[in-house]
Amino acid sequence: MTAPLFHLAPGALDAAGVGELVSLTGREGHHAATVMRLQPGESVLLSDTVGRRAEGLVRAAGDGQLQVEILSVTQEPVLLPRLVLVQALAKDRRDLQGVESATELGVDTVIPWQAERSVARWKAGREAKKHAEWVATVTTAAKQTRRTTIPEVRPLQSTAAYLRAVESAGAGVGVVVLHETQETSLAEAIAALQAGMGQESSGQQLQELHLVVGPEGGISDREIELLTAARARIARLGPTVLRSSTAGPAALAATQLLLGRWDWDTGAGPLEESA
């Protein structure tokens, strides 16, 4: 079984070297030492949540903390384009179901989207609480799947705000909108974005690839027009109509395969020689 992973603060592993001891304290230390009752000699993984991870052995446990000896340190490369799920708010927590699965499948960033047909709404004054719920969801899912990085959750955006953000980002952002009436495939849409990027930016790579998923009532015709005017590509994901909770994860998994990310070594390697 894979060793359990615990989160440290960003930067906590910057100076960590093989053979050094790192303290796991706070909530994570309590969970490891008191709840899981890890003992000296057991293997653990430590992550700074932003790209650096360490393999280690527990050397001491007690009082809600662990002392972990570092065996190796790895820096994960930043893969481009970063994969962004634009998830419309949906009722019955289907939006969070989609976000949770997308995190497990490797999404880099999540954008909560207040679409025109979203039945669910973040009530005024409760935006911070709802955003924190999404952050907790991606944090838990990332930890469960032993991910080194925790996806970013951006603030809630309306259609108008999202379009402004895409426009200000320029050619470095490509957008694919999943829509049931379109005949273009996801593979064709991504290929067209990559080809267009090459023509417009002297071969530079996309920085972000956005996958836009609508609510249970679908994306409105007006929104499709606005997104198309913003150079978004519209694509259909397979022959069936997927739920809002399913479309994002399915598109993300397909995109990972189309980009070849599940077929080759990402290039992550040890920063230090293993002990």
Is this prediction's pTM over 0.85? yes
82-259 belongs to which CATH class?
A: alpha beta
- Detail the DSSP E strand segments found in 194-241: 208-213, 233-235
Where exactly does CATH 2.40.240.20 map onto the chain? 5-75
5-75 belongs to which CATH class?
A: mainly beta
Distance CA(119)–CA(215), nearest Å, equals 8
Where exactly does CATH 3.40.1280.10 map onto the chain? 82-259
Tell me the pairing of strands 157-158 and 173-178: unpaired
Distance CA(25)–CA(9), nearest Å, equals 11
In tens digits, what is the pLDDT along the chain, a chain of 275 residues?
789 999 999 999 999 999 999 999 999 999 999 999 999 999 999 999 999 999 999 999 998 999 999 999 999 999 999 999 999 999 999 999 999 999 999 999 999 999 999 999 999 999 999 999 999 999 999 999 999 999 999 999 999 999 999 999 988 999 999 998 888 999 999 999 988 776 655 557 899 999 999 999 899 999 999 999 999 999 998 888 899 999 999 999 999 999 999 885 544 545 544 54
Nearest to 101 by CA among 258, 263, 257, 253: 253
Asked if residues 154 and 124 have their Cβ atoms less than 8 Å apart, the reply is no
Tokens of 128: 């911070």
The conformational region for residue 160 under phi > 0 = left, psi -120 to 50 = alpha, else beta, is alpha
pLDDT at residue 273, as a whole number = 46
pLDDT at residue 200, as a whole number = 58
User: What three-state secondary structure class fits 131?
Assistant: helix
pLDDT at residue 57, as a whole number = 97
